[in-house]
Amino acid sequence: MEILRSIVIVIHLVGFATLFGAWLVEALGKKRVTRLMHWGLAIALVAGLALSAPWGLTHDLNYMKIGIKLVILVIIGGLLGAGAARERKSGSVPAGIFWPIGILTLTNAALAVIW
Ligand code: HEM
């Protein structure tokens, strides 16, 4: 069980890496919202929800932290949707949508590790 949980954590991290990596490429480039960001978010969400159930654990879960991470992830999802829509309409993503995507993603990783 513990090994299975570790595998799901790796999948959770792959989701984070995909979202943040895709965003970083765009931050250094055209500053668009890409499909890969949506995929990373979906993978982090599904694996995160699986990890939110108390199985294969040797410690207690911090549900306050998990709830805040979920809220932040939903906000990132909203920004991805709004950014993609704005890009379709005007050809570019406003800075006020693009930058918070990366900052909030990093915030979630920092919350996960530091709290
Ligand atoms: C972009 C969004 C997210 C990022 C960057 C992120 C990042 C991380 C990281 C780096 C870890 C490993 C921390 C450690 O084991 O020390 C982790 C673990 C975890 N995450 Fe996330 N996460 C995100 C979203 C979510 C969401 C939406 C949920 C649940 C709804 C969630 C639930 C969990 C749980 C339950 C763990 C394991 C905690 C434990 O075993 O104590 N995460 N996350």
Question: Euclidean distance between the first and final Cα of the chain, in Å?
Answer: 25
Please answer whether residues 102 and 23 qualify as being in contact, where contact means their C-beta atoms are separated by less than 8 angstroms. Answer: yes
Evaluate: CB of 104 within 6 angstroms of ligand 1: no
Nearest CA to ligand 1 atom 33: 48
What's the predicted TM-score (pTM) here?
0.94
- Which is higher by pLDDT, 14 or 2? 14
Question: Among 9, 38, 62, 105, which residue has the most ligand 1 atoms within 8 Å of its CB, making it the best to mutate?
Answer: 9
Position 1 confidence tier, pLDDT thresholds 50, 70, 90? confident
For residue 48, report the distance from its CA to the centre of ligand 1, in Å. Answer: 6
Evaluate: CB of 109 within 6 angstroms of ligand 1: yes
If one counts the domains in the chain, the total is 1
Q: What range does the domain containing 11 cover?
A: 2-114
Position 11 confidence tier, pLDDT thresholds 50, 70, 90? very high
Q: Is residue 33 scored above 90 in pLDDT? A: yes
pLDDT in tens, 35-92: 999 999 999 999 999 999 999 898 999 999 999 999 999 999 999 999 999 999 999 9
Evaluate: CB of 40 within 6 angstroms of ligand 1: no
